[in-house]
Structure 1
Amino acid sequence: MEKFGKSQSVSRVEDVRFLTGHGRYVDDVTPKGALFAFVFRSPVAHAVITTLDVEDARASDGVHLVLTDADLVQAGITAGMAGVVVKNRDGSDAAAPHRPVLAQGKLRHVGEPVALIVAETLDQARDAAELIELDYDDLPAKLDLFTGGEAVHAEATDNRAFDWALGDEAACQAAFDAAAHVVRLEVDDNRIIVNAMEPRGCFAEVEDGRLHLSFGGQGVWTPKAQLARVLNLDPSQVRVTNPDVGGGFGMKAPPYPEYFTVAHAAMVLGRPVRWMSERTEAMLSDHHGRDLVSEAALAFDADHKIIGYRVDTRCNLGAYNSQFGQIIQTNLFARVLMGTYDVQATYLHVEGFYTNTTQVDAYRGAGRPEAIYLLERMMDTAARQLGVDPWALRRRNFIAVDQFPYSAATGETYDVGDFSRVLDHAEQAADRAGFAARKAESAARGKLRGMGLSYYIESILGDPSEGAKVEFNADGTVVIYVGTQSNGQGHETVYAKFLSDQTGIPAAMISVVQGDSDLIAQGGGTGGSRSVTTQSHATLATVARMIAAFTPYLAEKMGVAEDQVSFDDETFRAPGSNLTPTLLEAAAMARADGRTDLLVHEARATLPARSFPNGAHVCEVEVDPETGLTEVARYTVVDDFGNLINPLLAEGQVHGGVAQGLGQVLYEHVGYDEDGQLLTASFMDYAMPRAADMPMIKFETEVVPSTANPMGMKGCGEAGTVGAMAAGANAVLDALWDRGVRRADMPLTPLKVWELLNDGAAAA
């Protein structure tokens, strides 16, 4: 542990492989001779199927198999897709309609899978899909977030999936009744498409009587369990692997219908089957993110201390419950409901609605960006209405250092924090004192300049337990098997370096193996900023077990008592012995002596509590009032991530998160027409930030070590997005405020900003 605090920046070793075209993604590792699968999807948002005739497709050239729901049912595959269900306010279960693997009786969103065609070539599979006869009776598309409309599911005739709440409504109302000031605001959080660089894909094959599914995902154990459940297999008959993965962001964590149908097709045909999504297909079928509207209210006393907070949210689930759809804007939103502010009277009320759109699930942050976006928009609005400085208002309401560990009203226990220190650091790093001069310079060029602040906190999610296994090879190299899954974060570098720091084994001698359910018995995958914290904790436990196992063996070699042997993170030593073997040397000795029991070490560990990364984002924008074009001029982040293993990689994670947050603020938005047709189904219609749109991001840290784990770490994978959304939106509104604009919702595109400026000027 002595070496942990060095926080050495090490470049990612895996980047050489990725940047030279040697990455091994799912489409690169597909078995030779695999058949091609193509998914025939619903062309309409809502309809009753009257005819589904696939016989001509089955007879088409090169076609080996066509699967529909009827074929799956005939094969005994009747289980639906899994989805977590919450409890309603009255204690009843939320709606849990059956989500079939392939459309069953009705079509519920454009892009819903209807049939799978397997052929010798992809072109043959596509041609066969053109021969499928699908007739249907159209139904009105349900798109809004209110009760009523044509029922998407019989289990929710009013289209409300759940009515959930957390907190003491009476106590919260009492705080509002006693308030000197009440601030209210409605905030839209627009729907986005994840657009991972690598689209979803998979292949399946039968190996020695067992099913092997490989897909681009964020872990293998949940898909393994779901494949066994849906396909009526014993889990021991299923192997799941993740090769290199080109971006996940939460979207690639759950199983999707294609994986089950491709797996079944491979089992039926006895040949490998491959499927890879195209970009428009991904936009239609990948889980979307966000999509909610909230009405929020803050109650203040006469001294501008917050005494109550109420949020009423309506969120869009899409056509079905996705794996985590129901818990994102409920349980996960609640994790950081009150952010960094000391308020106990809170009430969160959320209603979820089914609509004839693609399912909504986790997207980088999963509930925490939504909660912080709303709260930090509220804090800026409150400061304006109360006539106080927004930075001072935050400081006035921060949880004080001496209040930790702090029990939040929603049940979370924040272990540690020093929010004022972090904000002071951010104020200096962002040169807030120089903003007035920069604003004046922008005005001289006819531009509007604004500064936005967001102070975020997020909670690490997911399984707090993880496992690690270390194996010494005969050639002197070492393998560490991990239960998480890299989607581009740099895990190969981080895990090898961390193990090296704890053992003295050169990092170049360590390889990281991940994403294979046969090689490590259990793992939590990647999501919720859990990976490095949980995996490093498991590595520490494995190293401790390793040292304990080698100690008696080496004590005998040294001719000393066991309690005389110590390990200094590099070598074993004992008083009176000149034998000082490294772990690699000790493993070689054990191998020579036939002690194979000392060559593999494995342990699981559970974090005692969650950690809470936090920090300040400061965004400056410049708006051209003639065109509405908004440019991000400066961006500063000061994060408290606790102790860092690799600051360089942490900074990279923040950069990516900020880009995704600002992308939603300024560019990204999913559009449907009144019939439920996706209008933003290509990169010609769906805007994302490009390199030229992003500023150089100033990144600094203010370390307050976590007390929730022995490493003092706090996760950092999603923090950039959690903080960026409100900082960007607050900056734009600040720029527009003097022109009469009082509300601005994402995305703040040039057209929208231009319209806001003209509407604001007209209203002034």
Structure 2
Amino acid sequence: MQAFGSGRSRRRREDPRLLTGGGRFVDDAAPAGALHAAFLRSPVAHARIAALDVRACRAMPGVALALTAQDVRAAGFDGAIGAARIATATGPGAAPRRPWLAEDRVRFVGEAVAMVLAETLQQAHDAIEAIELETEDLPVSMLNAPGGPAIHDEASGNLAFDWSIGDPDATKAAFAAAAHVVEAEIAQPRIMAASLEPRGAIAEWNGGALRLDYNGQGVWGVQRKLAAAFRLQPEMVRVTTPDVGGGFGMKAFTYPEHYALALGARLAGRPARWMSGRGEAMLSDNGARALVSRAAMAFDADHRLMAYRVETDSDLGAYNGENAQFIQSELFAKVLTGVYDVPAAHLRVRGVYTNAAPVDAYRGAGRPEAQYVLERTMGLAARRLGVDPADLRRRNFIRRFPHRTPTGETYDVGDFPRVLDGALAASGGFEARRAAAEARGLRLGRGLAFYIESILGDPVEGARVVFEEGGTVALHVGTQSNGQGHETAYAGFLADHLALPDGAIRIVQGDSALIPKGGGTGGSRSMTAQGTATLAAARAVIEGFEAFLAELEGAETAFDGERFRTAGSNRAPDMLEAAAMARAAGREDLLDLWREGRLPARSFPNGCHVAEVEIDPETGLTRVSRYDVIDDFGNMVNPMLVEGQVHGGVAQGIGQAIGEFAAHDGDGQLLTASFMDYAMPRAHDVPPISFGTRPTPCPANPLGIKGCGEAGTVGALAAMANAVTDALAPWGIETLQMPFTPQRVWNAIQGAGRAAAG
């Protein structure tokens, strides 16, 4: 039996079903007769609710229920969503109340104010129009820094938390002694996850038991929160998840709609369904990124890093997301100093409330933001110090492992120079391409960025292997596919270890009634955590069958990776035949096994991205012409799926770099509330992406693997930014901020030209 899977690419088994319309998404799963939900959402960013009258709404045709915050309280429920708070030197971060439905005030455009349940969706929307909402405007704060008009009484100056990590005294001393200091202010705009399938849910009560079917990233956290909210034992809440059309972190949490829908179904005595529209999603889904950082690097005379300092102001939106206080603080800090041997570092982060939708996890969750700040500053340092960008990085790489960073992380293993060499080789020939571009009147820039990722999430995962009658095997997993190819990866992994046909294995996921517990999907944990648990279950299956067959045959029996071999016997059953023998003998205990696996430490995937962009000085148009990636993901179970994850992550990074930006005006109105205005990347924006690996197997799990789901985005942002600034170097432009839209690039070039002329 192989220790880490086959490393063989398998085509995605999900694709024929999904591409031919066989997928079953949440909007396909509603029971007959379910009521349709629609939400009245705030049209203003900050206001006192002067009047809310739903009497005319309740009289509209088909309306079964109209729900307000007053009705939530009348039903005996607190009606608020909790959120985790970060610990600071002065206590935990602020915890303003976030209601299921707005109570006395609205705090962002799109906040849910009331919900209607009706026989048809059209009737629900018509009834929403009949609700009378009167508001008295309050001052709006969109500052990404403490201060501005107050949003919550609990947060003076709109400050949610002031958190720091590292050694400020050692960092200050290093800067005082430095030969060179490089400083930069780096902004990362608010963006949207914009998953292909918007959020949705179905709520149904059976007696006193609740079932919620929703398109999320794990069922057990939602089960616990719903049970607490409705004062139920967890086993009285069943949470299920069908196929999911993209999550990216945005679907990992509960939202006000889940609670309101569940209560509405209870009060109406009928199932209730809700599916967000695209504009509704853009207003109400958790946003992402939204921070401004002031970074500084201290170098000695030999250009070796002495210290690194970052101060960040992070926009949280109007309320705490469930994990938002940790994104730009603790998660940012995990990879603060990246792949560099930095003796001293200090990070200070202030979380700030604004009158916009809450911000929470999105692909990478803090690690892309940290690496963007680090690698942009490193690129700027190379330019200002007159050093080749690759040479400056090579000079400062961590060389010895394990390595403890200034923020307390322990990197287990890595070979950063080897990865860099691979990336430089893959991207060779740049000068010839630059000359060819200039002959066409274009400016070609190349951006190098190295990254390291810290895998997150629950280190414990479980796997259940059930041998079913008819020759199939069910593998119950605690993660949740959002399109990554889990069915292919897990089935192939189990097939390799138990010598089963791929087609004999079915994956069971997303049902709190069928799987006792699980950590869900997020933080690139799926294959490392689930693979470790599945390996433990597979070994238990083999050991159990070996003991059973040895007793049956009266001689030592061992599994050789294909069949069970018994000394002195020519009978050699395969796994399915052994299961049939166990069933015939009444050994049901061998046919249904649950095992847990625990990761002793997280893994640290890393890699080097090299992006090339062509800029047309006449129009400011920026086109990504080439993209090369060399990663260290340790051992890979299915290289094709890994490459697909890298491609998807890079595409999201390119999108953020060249166009994505959730823009608000001074009144807090979202100006980019459709795909006509929010610039998602198109196919022509993303070039072919070359992908290669230089693996160092991870010692912290028996598979030797490292997570890969978010790595593409973690590396892409800075590679793109460094490529753009390289292309703009002839105009002396050093720190243009994302997104690099044609207008922004053109304005920068024109401004630089006017400055030079003046």
TM-score range (shorter-chain normalised) is over 0.9
Residue in structure 2 matched with residue 85 of structure 1 by the alignment: 85
Once residues 71 and 318 of structure 2 are traced to their aligned partners in structure 1, the CA distance between those partners, rounded to angstroms, is 23
In 2, the alpha carbon distance for the partners of 1:207 and 1:478 equals 31
Q: What is the aligned partner in structure 1 of residue 146 from structure 2?
A: 147
Q: Is the CA contact (8 Å cut-off) linking 1:449 and 1:621 kept in structure 2?
A: yes
Please, what TM-score do these two structures have when normalized by structure 1? 0.98
Which letter maps to 2:586?
Answer: G
Residues 568-613 of structure 1, C-alpha deviations (whole Å, 9 max, x = no match) = 2222223222222222111101111222111101111110110000
Are the counterparts in 2 of residues 740 and 763 from structure 1 also a CA contact under 8 Å? no
Q: Which residue of 1 aligns with 2:34?
A: 34
User: Match for residue 734 of structure 2?
Assistant: 742
Contact 1:740 1:757 in 2 (8 A): no
AA paired with 2:251?
K
Structure 1 counterpart of 2:533: 538
Residue 112 of structure 1: how far off its partner (Å): 0.3
Q: Which moved more, 1:734-743 or 1:220-229?
A: 734-743
Give the drift of 1:65: 0.5
Distance 1:456 1:550 in 2: 45
Paired letter, 2:55:
E
> Partners in 1 of 2:236 and 2:162 — Cα distance?
40
Q: Using the alignment, how far apart are the partners of 1:416 and 1:478 within structure 2?
A: 36
Question: Separation in 1 of the partners of 2:6 and 2:265?
Answer: 50
| Cα distance between partner residues in 1 of 2:146 and 2:495 | 57
What is the distance in 2 between the residues matched to 1:79 and 1:467?
33
1:270, distance to aligned residue in structure 2 (A):
2.1
Letter matched to residue 436 of structure 2: E
CA contact (8 A) 1:3 1:501 kept: no
The 5 A counterparts of 1:644-655 are 644-655=636-647
* Matches of 1:687 and 1:503, distance apart in 2: 47
Residue number in structure 2 paired with 1:207: 206
- The answer to whether the 8 Å contact 1:142/1:355 transfers is yes
Is structure 2 residue 417 aligned with structure 1 residue 420? yes
Paired AA for residue 58 in structure 1? R
Deviation per CA, 1:695-722: give whole Å up to 9, x if none: 0000111111111111110000000000
2:585 to 581, 593, 600: 593
CA apart distance, 1:212: 0.7
Quote the residue 2:329 is aligned against.
330
Deviations 1:114-162 (A, max 9, x none): 1110000111111111111111110011101222222110001310110
Q: Superposed, which structure 2 residues align to 1:393-408 within 5 Å?
A: 393-400=392-399, 403-408=400-405
Identity within the alignment, %: 58
Residue number among 714, 727, 732 corresponding to 2:706 in the alignment:
714
Pick the aligned partner of 2:501 from 503, 506, 521. Answer: 506
TM-fit CA distance, 1:411:
1.1
Q: What does 1:612-651 correspond to in 2, within 5 Å?
A: 612-651=604-643
Q: Which runs of 5+ in 2 are unaligned?
A: none
Q: Give per-residue Cα distances to partners, 1:191-250, cap 9 Å, x unaligned.
A: 101100000001011236421100010000000001111122221110000100000000
What are the superposed Cα offsets for residues 342-399 of structure 1, whole Å, 9 maximum, x if unpaired?
0130000000100000000001000000000000001110001111101000000000
Task: Please say if residues 536 and 596 of structure 2, whose CA atoms lie closer than 8 Å, have aligned partners that are also in contact.
Answer: yes
Distance 2:547 2:437 in 1: 71
Secondary structure at the counterpart of residue 27 of structure 2: coil
Q: Is the 8 A contact 2:3 2:702 kept in 1?
A: no
> For residue 52 of structure 1, what is the aligned residue in structure 2?
52
TM-score by length of 2: 0.99
Aligned to 2:17: 17
Shift of 1:104: 1.2
Q: Which residue is equivalent to 1:100?
A: 99
From 651, 655, 675, the counterpart of 1:663: 655
1:332-731 equivalence runs, <5 A: 332-400=331-399, 403-431=400-428, 434-560=429-555, 564-731=556-723
Give how far 1:74 is off.
1.2
Distance 1:148 1:690 in 2: 38
Which whole-Å CA distance do the structure 2 matches of 1:763 and 1:642 have between them? 49
- Tell me the SS of whatever aligns to 2:205: strand
**Is 1:185–1:296's contact at 8 Å kept on the other side of the alignment?**
yes
C-alpha distance in structure 2 between counterparts of 1:190 and 1:569, whole Å: 52
Distance 2:465 2:206 in 1: 26
Question: Residues 658 and 632 (structure 1 numbering): CA distance in 2 closer, same or farther, change over 3 Å?
Answer: same
Q: Quote the Cα distance in structure 2 between the aligned partners of 1:497 and 1:329.
A: 36
Taking the aligned partners of 1:693 and 1:146, their CA distance within structure 2 comes to 33
Shift of residue 3, structure 1, vs aligned partner: 6.4
Give the letter aligned to residue 223 of structure 1: V
Distance 2:319 2:745 in 1: 34
Residues in 2 aligned to 1:762 and 1:742: alpha-carbon distance in whole angstroms? 16
Quick one: distance in 2 between partners of 1:544 and 1:633? 47
Q: Give the conservation status (yes or no) of the 8 Å contact 2:3–2:703.
A: no
Residue identity opposite 1:741 in structure 2: I
CA distance in 2, matches of 1:79, 1:116: 14
Separation (CA, whole Å) in 2 of partners of 1:394 and 1:739: 25
| Contact kept? 1:4, 1:501, Cα under 8 Å | no
Q: What amino acid sits opposite 1:485 in the alignment?
A: Q
CA RMSD of aligned residues (A): 1.0
Deviation at 1:75, TM superposition (A): 1.3
Distance in 2 (alpha carbons) for counterparts of 1:115 and 1:234: 28
Distance 2:79 2:120 in 1: 30
| Cα distance in 1 between the residues matched to 2:520 and 2:290 | 26
Contact preservation (8 Å) 1:459, 1:613: yes
Note if contact 1:740-1:761 (Cα within 8 Å) is conserved in structure 2.
no
1:281: which partner in 2?
280
